[in-house]
Each structure stands twice: as C-alpha cells, then as structure tokens.
A and B are shown apart, each in its own frame.
Chain A
C-alpha cells in the first residue's frame, strides 16, 4: 500500500460506509466511550454487579460482530486460511465483545440510581 497515512485510512473508511454514516458511527462510538468514562468518574467506583452482566453480554457481542462481518463479506468460517485470518477473526470477535460490554455497563449505569452504587458494588 502506497502512502498508508492516517488521512488515507480515514478517506478509505469514509468511502466504505459513506461520509455521513462513518462519522455518525465514530460519533456514537466516542459518545458511548465518553459516557462510560463519565459514569466511572461520576460513581468513583466500578459496580461489579453491573460488570457481571456486562461480561455475560460479551459472547453475544462477539457473535454478533462475527456474524455481521461474515454476512457483509460473503464469507464463512471455512475461509479462514492462515494465522493473520485467525488474528483478524479474533480481533473482530474481541471488538464486538468489548464494545458490547462497555455499552451494557454504560446503559445500566445511566439508568440506575447513582446514590445506591456505593453500598451494593
């Protein structure tokens, strides 16, 4: 790849999803991440009860991400052919899992009463 700069990558992603959708996705991802940090800072503690549910949701996120990539790209599991394929595959699954966990934790925190957190966490 010639001149693979950060600008090139952004241009390529804009073309894959369309400029509006791509930046909307970046915005949503940033918003969820920021909100996650926001609730952590607000609560000054991790709620292990919420974290448990977040962890339980991780396999669902992983499967959803893999399913999405396979369907969109006309692929199937049998197409994995080398170490890099396995790394990409696991990366997709891990990304889906972590994304889902952050989302589930954040949503729970946003919709629960922050004053009750300290005692029950």
Chain B
C-alpha cells in the first residue's frame, strides 16, 4: 500500500477549510435603500415569504403585515391529517414565529381598501397609508353555499371537510376511518369554482380507498367521485391518467355533478347536473365548498369585472401579478385572478416575481421575473406512492426532474418528497430561503 505522507496538521487544516467553504453564506443581492411604506394583507404562505425576502432586499422600508390569525397553517398537510397519517398539529405553527424582525404585524383583518387614496382600513378602524400594497389574504370557503351543511356536522354522520382547517381535517378522518372499517358508499366531491389545490379532493379519494383496501375491506366499499367539471383534472393529460387510475381502482366518476345540498339525517346528497337534479346516497361524504375571494377584495373594486364574477379574484397581469388598474398593487397566492396557481408550490414561484416587481418599482428599474402559471401537485394515489404533477398556464407538463422522476408515474420517490421534503421546503420558503 502507498504510504500517506500528509501530516495530521495538514490533514485537519484541509478538512477545516472545506467545512468553512460549505458554510459561506449565499451571495446576497445588493440592498435597495428606500423609505417606502409597504402593506401586505395576509401573513400566510405568500405574505410571510415575501416579507422575509423584502427585508433582505430593502433597507429602510416600512413593512406592515395585516393578519388576525395567530396560527399559521401548512395547508398541504391537511390531506395527510384527513387520512390519519399525521396529527392535526402537524400543520400548525405560530404566524409570528415566521416573520422577520423589523416588520410590523397588526393582528387585524383588512376591513376596506381604498386603491385611489392608497389606504387600508383595519377592523378596529385604523387607517394605514401605503406606497405599495400586496394583496395576499388567501380565499374564503363558502360552506353556506351547500344547503343543509354546516361545519359543526364534520366528523359525525359520515361527513368530512378537510379544507376547513386542521381540527376539521382530523374530524374528517374520524368520519372517513369509519368507512374504511365498516364499508359502505364513499362519495367524494369538489366545487365548480376555482379552488386551492385541485388535486386534494382526488388525493382524499385515493387515500381513503387505499386505506380501506389495505384493511381488507376493499369488497365492502363503493367509492364514487362527483365533480362539476367535464374532466377529472384541469390539465387534460393528467385527467386522462386519473381516469385510468380510477378505472384501475374501481372508483366510479360522475362528471358535471355540482353538490348543492345535503340531507345529513337521511345521508343523501343532491347534485345539479345538465339533466336536472340527481340525488345520491352515501355513508361517507367529503364536502369541498365553493371558494371565493374575501369580501374586502370584492368590495374594494380590485376584482375582475368580467371574469369569475361570482368569485371575485384580483384583476392582475398573469405574468407579473401586478394589478391591471392600480400599478402599486400586486396580488399573491390564492386571491390572484390567474387561471392556475392556487397551491403552495405556485406561491413559491410567485413570491420572487412580486418581490422583483416591487423592488424594481422602488429602484426605478425594469422587472425581469415572470410567473408562467407553475403549479405543482404531489398527487397521492395510495399510501406510499404519488405522482409529481407539475404544469403551467398552457397545460404543459413542466417536470422539475425530467428523465428522472416521471410526472405521470406512481412513484415512491414522489411520496417521499411529499412526506419528507415538502414541509421542509415550504418552511424554507416561508423564511425566504427557498
């Protein structure tokens, strides 16, 4: 064997140098000095990530966030909670813990926005003037739109509603687990409006079906999926794949079925269809209500006048997310009136665009970043497998790992990403580091 002649000191010196090289901070962009007043409505995924990034880019800006919620919700985890795979507290943390020092968090709701006078009024009547406004309040779940349904029913009599929050997601599992043990008809729905993570109703269907089959109760369940749209997913190539998977699992689909009302006592759900009303019985019903922009957006005149008029999403350029009539306003996250993009992954792509637009507006330079509609959905198809579906405005698949992770294959690695890496990446995004 060749003798190694390096001295101990040389060796450890080299090792220490290597370790030091690994910990050198990433190159930071030069800070822009400004006295701008920036108001961000909403401290969810978008608002928090943006605040962290702006603090790094701007020197001297006065950044104020408005959000009454004490809890921050990691919403991509709700479908895991609703399948009994994670506890409710898996998705909760404190809003304030994610915010950088130097920003002001006002724990109130935005009650009114005056885009002409450039002011935001809070619940308590405080008026905040702004030079730049970012609207990122999320969306509102319109549970009242389903006649006969209210949130206090969730968890009982076979009713689930996982979108409503961590506790409701846990109660959803209570109701759904009964189906997986005792069998019966599982009826899974989605709304006709735009919605956050359009894959989640499908994931819930796949997971509950798989858990029942794993428990040996596959012969006792009858899984039905009802959707108002004409396809199982908005992206045609993905819709086809889901159709094939449904066929493989024996899941029946009912397209152009819009859930209108339920009779919880009789366990019957009524749907509007092109052929008239249809009633279906269930032992377990998953309700996903219509989703809309918060009232304050619609009342302040920021919404599209000719698109999504029943939903009120913010009128903005789909590439820059800048408001089309008020150039000092940007929309971010669920509330943005763009054709896709109501997922946490989209927020990750949108935040740098809004950051670039805002910093460029302050610095008087041309923005360079644009949003292409990137939306991602680790579509869980069973416990232990998922498809990493990523697409853009044009319904093109835009895989992050082409040739390595096939987008339309059910893979373990895609499940691992959802299970292990997704929350970590999300948290890193919140801190402005991913």
Report how far A82 CA is from B401 CA in the complex, Å: 14
Asked if residues B1 and A74 are in contact (CB atoms below 8 Å), the reply is: no
Known: A34-B12, A34-B15, A41-B4. A85 touches B412 (CB 8 A): yes
- Contact count A vs B, C-beta below 8 Å: 98
Asked if residues A74 and B383 are in contact (CB atoms below 8 Å), the reply is: yes
Contacting chain B: which of A11-19, A52-60, A93-101, A106-114? A11-19
Which residue of A has the minimal Cβ distance to B25? A7
Please give, as numbers and ranges, the residues of chain B lying within 8 Å of A11 by CB-CB distance. 428, 431, 433-434
Asked if B117 CB lies within 8 Å of chain A CBs, one says no
Asked if residues A78 and B384 are in contact (CB atoms below 8 Å), the reply is: yes
Task: Map CB proximity to A onto B371-385 as digits: 1 under 8 Å, 0 otherwise.
Answer: 000100000001111
Please give, as numbers and ranges, the residues of chain A lying within 8 Å of B4 by CB-CB distance. 40-41, 44
Report how far A5 CA is from B434 CA in the complex, Å: 9
CB distance from A14 to the nearest CB of B (A): 8
Report how far A80 CA is from B382 CA in the complex, Å: 12
Known: A11-B431, A16-B420. A80 touches B412 (CB 8 A): yes
Q: By the criterion of a CB under 8 Å from any partner CB, how many residues of chain B are at the interface?
A: 43
Known: A12-B428, A88-B413. A7 touches B26 (CB 8 A): yes
Please give, as numbers and ranges, the residues of chain A lying within 8 Å of B434 by CB-CB distance. 3, 8, 11-12
CB distance from B48 to the nearest CB of A (A): 14
In which size bucket is the chain A interface?
35 or more
Contacting chain A: which of B139-147, B278-286, B403-411? B403-411
Known: A41-B4, A73-B420, A85-B413. A15 touches B428 (CB 8 A): yes
Asked if residues A81 and B420 are in contact (CB atoms below 8 Å), the reply is: no
Which residues between 1 and 35 of chain A lie within 8 Å of chain B, taking CB atoms? 1-8, 11-16, 30, 34
Which residues between 1 and 33 of chain B lie within 8 Å of chain A, taking CB atoms? 1, 3-4, 6, 8, 11-12, 15, 19, 25-26
Asked if residues B412 and A16 are in contact (CB atoms below 8 Å), the reply is: no
Question: What is B's interface to A at a CB cutoff of 8 Å?
Answer: 1, 3-4, 6, 8, 11-12, 15, 19, 25-26, 85, 348-349, 352, 374, 382-385, 400-401, 404-406, 409-413, 415-416, 419-421, 423-425, 427-428, 431, 433-434
The 4 closest A-B pairs by CB, nearest first: A79-B384, A15-B424, A11-B428, A7-B26
